[in-house]
């Protein structure tokens, strides 16, 4: 995350995950398993009321006891089943190694890492697969999942990069469409930007708009912002909420407290690049940007149903 809740990463067994490139140019996915930990300072030595971790000083993880322990390069090589000398470069991040857990009264909560935005990727993929199995329409159904959203999207394969526009342009060309026809396709298309939404926090309700209270377990959320932090407008909201109604899915709305800045999504980025009507939605979530986030099981299932209705609508 670009803006993590840093203290949630302490006292957790963390793994490193990402991509490695070997000297022959091949790329491999990497998951080290539990490997490092950022230990908290004992309370006897740190009695300040509020601990505000310094990113440079306080979040250095520990991996071993002395220089004779196996080096990180050797650990990585073992996971990849290659010699350490074969590794050319890698992109790795720390990840909580604890598995996701369904819990609570009635088993209605799901806690796991990176629910923002794996909750949306999973639901969207399930909806696309289910819809494509029986789809007989003429429209091209597209699912785009981008990297780097939490750090600005301005990368080669982030939402501000060229990949989506390139794929759509080349798809239209493969279908025999010229530039004018492609632009007409954009004009009659619509897009859902699916990203996690804020659920009202029971201990901090004052942070939310007093007349909009989306809650976990009450259905997907339509996200609205007058400053265009979200791409939703009346036209796109109508398309989305009509799909929810057809699917029998309850829908909520999030409008931020005017005194509390909200986040943004890739919705305004892709809408600006392509000019396609876009609505921002998501399942309500607590602990957003924590190492371990919280969503409702039923909201996840409802999101799939709503997206399916939208795709066939």
Of 180, 310, 185, the closest CA to residue 251 belongs to: 310
C-alpha 135/C-alpha 126 separation (Å) is: 14
Tokens at residue 125, please?
């993929």
Does the pLDDT of residue 132 top 80, yes or no?
Answer: yes
Domains of the chain: 6-96 (2.30.250.10), 101-312 (3.40.630.10)
Burial of 227 (0-12, 13-18, 19+ CB in 10 A): exposed
C-alpha 265/C-alpha 149 separation (Å) is: 7
The region of weakest confidence among 96-100, 164-168, 180-184, 262-266 is 262-266
Model's pTM, two decimal places?
A: 0.93
> Each residue of 46-60: pLDDT tens digit?
877 777 889 999 999
Q: Grade residue 9 by pLDDT with cuts at 50, 70 and 90.
A: very high
> Each residue of 270-297: pLDDT tens digit?
999 999 999 999 999 999 999 999 999 9
Phi, psi of 279 (to 5 degrees): -125, 140
Place of tokens 């923002």: 116
């Amino acid at each position: 995350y670009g803006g993590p809740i840093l203290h949630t990463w302490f006292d957790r067994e963390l793994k490193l995950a990402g991509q490695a490139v070997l000297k022959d140019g091949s790329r491999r996915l990497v998951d080290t398993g539990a490997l490092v930990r950022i230990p908290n300072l004992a309370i006897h030595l740190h009695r300040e009321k509020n601990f505000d971790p310094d990113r440079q000083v306080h979040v250095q993880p520990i991996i071993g006891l002395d220089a004779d322990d196996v080096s990180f390069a050797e650990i990585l090589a073992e996971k990849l089943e290659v010699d350490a000398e074969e590794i050319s470069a890698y992109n790795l991040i720390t990840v909580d190694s604890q598995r996701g857990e369904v819990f609570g009264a009635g088993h209605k909560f799901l806690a796991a890492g990176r629910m923002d935005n794996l909750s949306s990727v999973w639901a969207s993929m399930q909806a696309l697969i289910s819809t494509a199995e029986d789809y007989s329409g003429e429209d091209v159904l597209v699912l785009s999942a981008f990297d780097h959203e939490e750090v600005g999207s301005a990368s080669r394969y982030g939402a501000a990069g060229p990949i989506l526009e390139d794929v759509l342009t080349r798809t239209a060309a493969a279908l025999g469409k010229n530039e004018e026809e492609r632009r007409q396709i954009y004009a009659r298309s619509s897009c859902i930007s699916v990203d996690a939404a804020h659920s009202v926090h029971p201990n901090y309700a004052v942070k939310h708009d007093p007349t909009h209270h989306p809650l976990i377990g009450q259905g997907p959320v339509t996200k609205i912002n007058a400053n265009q932090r979200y791409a939703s407008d009346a036209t796109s909201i109508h398309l989305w909420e009509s799909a929810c109604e057809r699917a029998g899915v309850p829908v909520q709305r999030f409008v931020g407290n005017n005194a509390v800045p909200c986040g943004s999504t890739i919705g305004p980025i892709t809408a600006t690049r392509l000019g396609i009507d876009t609505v921002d939605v998501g399942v309500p979530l607590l602990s957003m940007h924590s190492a371990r986030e919280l969503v409702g099981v039923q909201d996840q299932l409802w999101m799939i149903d709503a997206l399916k209705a939208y795709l066939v609508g």
